[in-house]
Amino acid sequence: MQACTNLDELPKSDISPGTFFNNEAEALAGLSGVYAQLRGAFPGYCCAYYALNEISTDEMVVPTRGQDWYDNGRWLEIHEQGWTPGSPSTLQDINSAWVNGFTGVANANLALSALQSRIVMDSVKQAGVIAELRALRAFYYYQLMDLFGGVPVVTTPDVAQRDRVSRDSVFRFIEAELLAARADLPRRGMRRTTAASRRARSTPYSPACTSMPAYSPRMPASSAPLRITRARESPWREA
């Protein structure tokens, strides 16, 4: 009887810092994969993050006609915010939003672990790619923080169980990453203005905002009428 004695294999499709990210083309391919993961958050592909944000409000409704678009009741659950740990919208949409966000984080971590340890292209271009990866990772963490509050913050590609941190800690990580990446961001893709807008969008989750007292109906309302000054008037006029 004969058999193989060396069963160690290195699949050619396996991507790791040791087998990939060795030149500019491979670095840009890794960056493109992190951008591509955004498709799972918005309409046209999976859109779990978009659906949970829109259909759970009065901005959007998914009509059900008979069994068409009933989909096991998941759209009604999202609209009524009636999900439970094992309900259809949880297993489909909420789980998909979690997986999609952390897949983006994992892809960014894999590329960053390689590019932050060696130079594989023009140093200015590589600094821009690293900045884009950090800003994209921060954007994925913004989505996760927006939906789940405190989540594990992972910055390495190691596969290990991570403890959940507070929402304040996630916010501070997002803000620090966007500020650190801003100076090297290129004029295309994840630009400086995009990073600035992401930072502004995450500000309501900062400790300074979340620690403010809730609105009290006992607060006296202003008796002054609301006036629109000329500075606020529309610049458009009928032809």
Domain extent listing, the chain: 24-206
* Averaged pLDDT for residues 87-107: 94
Share of the chain above pLDDT 70, in %: 72
User: How open is the CA angle 113-114-116, to the nearest 5 degrees?
Assistant: 70
Report whether pLDDT(97) > 80.
yes
**In CATH, which of 3.40.50.2000, 1.25.40.390, 3.30.70.1280, 3.40.50.1100 is domain 24-206?**
1.25.40.390
How far, rounded to the nearest angstrom, does the alpha carbon of residue 139 sit from its chain's CA centroid? 4
User: How open is the CA angle 27-33-38, to the nearest 5 degrees?
Assistant: 140
pLDDT digits (tens, 9 = 90+) for 141-156: 999 999 999 999 999 9
How confident is the model at residue 239, as a pLDDT?
Answer: 42
- Burial label for 74, CB within 10 Å (0-12, 13-18, 19+), is buried
How confident is the model at residue 132, as a pLDDT?
Answer: 94
Which one is predicted more confidently, 209 or 212? 209
Report whether pLDDT(228) > 60.
no
| pLDDT band with cut points at 50, 70 and 90 for residue 25 | very high
Report whether pLDDT(40) > 90.
no
Residues 6+ apart with CB under 8 A from 29: none
Which one is predicted more confidently, 239 or 151? 151
pTM of the model: 0.77
Q: Which of 122, 124, 120 is nearest to 23 (CA)?
A: 120
